[in-house]
Structure 1
Amino acid sequence: MEDTHFYQHIDRLSLFYSYFVFLDTDAYLADQLFIKHQVRVHFHEEYVRGDSPYRAIFCHVRKRDRERFQAALEELPKKMMLLGYIDYLDVCRALWDKCQQQRKGGEFP
């Protein structure tokens, strides 16, 4: 996985697609950014904890659209902060750090 603070690239063998996971809210704030950057995103699973305003969203984009997708996600933290989600980056960082620790500890295959 790449080292970013608010989304993660998922290493998966594919000729045409790049896979990602990112955190969003139940209002799906990233969708407007994808429209703005004219990138088509194929959504998969999403996971949410009952006590959290955030949900982990798994998706993929065509490899040729990867730069536009990442540019859209670069704007997401600012949008979150403007709308009152001031802990967004801290929550992302904590989640990705926990995933990395579990991965290094052998808890994931």
Structure 2
Amino acid sequence: MSQYGAKYKYGKASPSDGFDCSGLIFWAYGKHGITVPRHTAAQSKAGKWVAARNARQGDIVVFRIGRRLHTGLVADKGRFLHAPSSGGYVRMESLSGVYWKNKIVGYRRIV
């Protein structure tokens, strides 16, 4: 949450440079001494699968948008934190929102 409002920047993973979606996850876990893959495809397979009903704060939520994957961090029941796209910023969104609800592929628990 400390990076809420940070700018989106493709290929970046730091508060000073900005974040892309996988960079935000890489940075957040790294701040807690936990290593996760840097790229979205690898993050979508990291850790273990968890059912949506069991997802908790800090789990990775994986979306499929067209042919691409997108990742975010579960913030609480029903919301996630992510770096969405060029020109955007790190923000919270609803997992049940019209755009995101049907794009969820699954949830991954790292710890």
Of the two structures, which has the highest relative contact order with CA contacts closer than 8 Å and spacing of 6 or more?
A: 2
Specify if TM > 0.5.
Answer: no
Q: TM (normalized to structure 1)? A: 0.26
Bigger Rg, structure 1 or 2: 1
More helix by share: 1
Q: TM (normalized to structure 2)? A: 0.26
More strand by share: 2
